Amino acid sequence: MENYNNFTPEDFDLDLLLNFRNKILIESSNFSTIKQICNETLKFSRMCAIVAEPGYGKSIALEHFVGENKNIHYMAVKKTMSTKDFYNKILEAAGWSNRYRSSSLYSIIESIGYYLAQSSGKHLIIIDEAGKLNHKQRLCLHDLRDAVKNNTGIILAGPKYFQNEILAQKKNDIEGIPELLRRIDMFIELQPPTTIEKRELFKLNGFRNQSLINSVLKNCVHLGDVYNVVENFAILALRMQDNVE
C-alpha cells in the first residue's frame, strides 16, 4: 500500500480524517447532473436511466437526494431477489406493505400504482443497482411505468452494461424490450470524476500534504478509490492512537 507505512500525523487534519465513516459528498458535475435529472423526472413524471461505472458517486448522490426531498421512494436491487420480491420491495419503499405475500405479480404492480395515485403530490421511484435486474424484472418495468405514470417518475440507475444489454436485446428483437425502451425517456451517462474533484475530496477528508495527495491520486480512478484511500489512512491513524494509549 503506497505511502501507508509512512504515516505522518502532521499531514492530516485528524478530526476530519477520523470522520471517514460519514462519507463526505462533494458537489461534483455528476452530483449536479443527478440532482437535475431527479428533479425533472419527479416534476414531469418521466422515466429516465442514469448509467455510470461503479465509484462515480451515483449511489451516494441518489441517497442524498432522497434525504433532501419528500415523496422519494428508493430501493436497491439485490441479486437474490425474485421478481415478486423486487416489486414488493418497491411497494414497501413507497410506504405500504403487501400483507398477502401470495398476491400475483400483476396485483402487486397494480397496488403500487393504486397507492401512489391516492397520495398527494408528485412521487419518484429510484431503482438503484439496476444492472442486477433479471430479464423478467426488466420486462415488468413496462407494467410498472404504465401503472404509475400519472403522478410518479422512475429513475433507473446502474452501470453502463445495463444500457448496453438492453440495447443489444432490442437489436435482437427480444420480446418486450422495444416496448420498455420506448418508455425510457432518456439514458444519461455520467462522466469520470475529474482530478480536481478527487483532490477536493481528499482535502475535505483531512489531507493537508499536497505531495501525499499527488501520490495517492495516481491510483485513484474514481471517487470510490478516494474513499478507500481515506479509510486506509484513517485506520492507520486509529492504530497509531491505540499504540500511544
pLDDT tens, position by position, for the chain (245 residues)? 455 566 888 999 999 999 999 988 898 999 999 999 999 999 999 999 999 999 899 999 999 999 999 999 999 999 999 999 999 999 999 888 766 556 799 999 999 999 999 998 999 999 999 999 999 999 999 999 999 999 999 999 999 999 999 999 999 999 999 999 999 999 999 999 999 999 999 999 999 999 999 999 999 999 999 999 999 999 999 988 777 65
Full domain range(s) for residue 179? 29-189
114 and 203 belong to one structural domain? no
Nearest CA-CA partner of 204 in 64, 13, 28: 13
Residue 54 CB neighbours (<10 A): 12
Give the CATH number, domain containing residue 176: 3.40.50.300
Residue 128's contacts (CB-CB under 8 Å, 6 or more residues apart) are 58, 59, 62, 74, 75, 76, 77, 157, 158
End-of-domain residue from the set 189, 220, 236: 189
CB 142 within 8 A of CB 179: yes
Domain count, the chain: 2
Decide if 2 is inside a domain.
no
CA end-to-end span of the chain? 25
Is there a single domain that holds both residue 107 and residue 129? yes
Query: Both 142 and 231 in a single domain?
Result: no
8 Å CB contact between 162 and 130: yes
Domain boundary among the residues 142, 161, 189 is at: 189
Segments in the chain forming alpha helices (H) = 14-17, 29-44, 58-68, 83-93, 105-118, 135-148, 160-171, 177-183, 195-204, 210-217, 223-244
5 domain-assigned: no
Q: 150, 166, 189: which is the final residue of a domain?
A: 189
Q: Count CA atoms within 13 Å of residue 189 on its CB side.
A: 8
Q: Are residues 49 and 118 in the same domain?
A: yes
Q: Do 163 and 141 share a structural domain? A: yes
